[in-house]
């Protein structure tokens, strides 16, 4: 971003002593600064990518972007937690049905 000219902090006592020409010059300087900042703001708004989170677009319009971020997230999870195999896990006590004392038939 371009460097803005620094304006001194103005106090009302100082401003009241200024002449009409100095006040007009101050207003014009501030007007130019405001216009420059508005142009910068418009440029930043144009550069910002718009997707379903930053605009009113439906989520279906940014499927490609979501799939790329999902791949990155899955890799982080697999590194931090190892996948468990299905079935009884090591160290688990487990529960089973007790068998019958005797079989009738």
Give the per-residue pLDDT at 74.
Answer: 52
Write down the pLDDT at residue 70: 53
Per-position b or e across 36-72, b if 16+ CB within 10 A of its CB: eeeeeeeeeeeeeeeeeeeeeeeeeebeeeeeeeeee
What average pLDDT values come out for the chain (105 residues) when binned by 10 residues? 60 88 94 96 83 78 59 55 76 78 77
In the prediction, which pLDDT does 23 show?
Answer: 92
Q: What is the pLDDT of residue 42?
A: 92
Q: Does residue 4 contact residue 30 with C-beta atoms inside 8 Å? A: no
Distance in angstroms (rounded) separating the CA atoms of residues 60 and 83: 30
pTM above 0.85, yes or no: no
pLDDT for the residue 4: 52
| pLDDT, position 27 | 94
Opening angle at CA 43, ends 42 and 46, nearest 5: 90
């Amino acid at each position: 971003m371009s460097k803005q000219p620094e304006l001194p902090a103005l106090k009302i006592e100082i401003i009241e002593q200024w002449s009409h020409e100095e006040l007009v010059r101050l207003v014009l300087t501030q007007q130019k600064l405001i216009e420059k900042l508005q142009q910068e703001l418009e440029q930043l708004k144009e550069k910002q990518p718009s997707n379903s989170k930053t605009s009113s677009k439906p989520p279906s319009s940014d499927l490609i972007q979501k799939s790329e971020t999902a791949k990155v997230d899955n890799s982080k999870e697999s590194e931090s937690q190892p996948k468990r195999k299905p079935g009884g896990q090591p160290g688990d006590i487990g529960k089973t049905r007790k068998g019958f004392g005797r079989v009738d038939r």
